[in-house]
Amino acid sequence: MNRKYFMYGFTTILILVAVGIVYAAFSDKGKVLGSSFSVANSDIKIMADTTQGTNPANLVDEIAGPSFGNIGQTWQQDYAIKLVNGGTTKLQVMSNAYYETANDPENIREHIYVEIFEWSDANNDGIADPGEYPNSLGKKTIIKWKTEGIALGEFNPGQSKPLVIRFSTENLSETKQGATALFDFIFEGIEM
C-alpha cells in the first residue's frame, strides 16, 4: 500500500513539474519601471518687449506699467501688451485692476475708463498700428475693472495673446486737475 501512495505521489509531482514547464514556456511578463507623474501647470508670461517675440529671455512675470501725464477732459492713450501662456494647460484669462484707495485720494478711478482690444499684429512688428485692433472685449471704469474684470477668452498652451489696453476719460472735471493715482492691472488664468 505504501508503494501505491508512493507511485501516486510521484505521478502527481511529475504532472506538476510538466505543467510548470509548459506554463514557463508559454508565459512571460513585462515591467514598467520608474513611472513619473507631473501635474499640469498654468503660467502666464508677459513679453517685456512686444517686438522681440517669445524668446524665453523676453518672457517675464511682471513689467513696469505705463505713466500717463497731462490727462484732460477727453483724453485717450493706447498701451500694447502681449501675453504668453507658458503653462501646459488651456486657460480662461481674466484681467482686473488692482489698487489701494490710498493711492488714489482724488478718486480719479471713477473717471478713467479702460477698454481692452484683441490685437492682430498683422505685420508682426510688435507695434499696435491703427486697424489692427478692431474687436473690443469691454469698456469699464477702473473701479468696475477691479470689481468685475474683463474676460479675455481662452488661451491655449504656448499661445501668445496680443492686446491693446485703451485708457480714456470722458468729461473729466476740472476739480481733478493736478490729481495723481497709482493702479496696477493683473492677468489671471484659470485652468480649463
Please write the tens of the pLDDT for every residue from 38-75.
455 668 999 999 999 899 999 999 899 889 888 888 89
Cβ density class 21-49: b for 16+ within 10 Å, e for less: eeeeeeeeeeeeeeeeeeeeebebbbbee
What the block records as the C-alpha cell of 5 is 501512495
For 131, phi then psi, to 5°, come to 90, -15
Strands 112-118 and 76-85: unpaired
Residue 3 CA neighbour count, 13 Å, CB half = 0
d(CA 111, CA 177): 12
Give domain limits for the chain: 44-191
Residue 105, helix vs strand vs coil: coil
- The rounded mean pLDDT for the chain is 85
Amino acid 23: pLDDT: 54
Amino acid 36: pLDDT: 47
Amino acid 21: pLDDT: 57
| 165: β partners | 79, 116
Amino acid 162: pLDDT: 95
Amino acid 73: pLDDT: 87
Block mean pLDDT (10 aa), the chain, length 192: 67 63 54 53 86 92 89 91 91 91 90 95 90 95 95 94 94 87 90 84
Judge whether 50 and 162 are in contact, CB under 8 Å.
yes
Q: Which CATH code for domain 44-191?
A: 2.60.120
Amino acid 135: pLDDT: 94
- The total of other beta-carbon atoms located within 10 Å of residue 94's CB is 16
d(CA 37, CA 114): 42
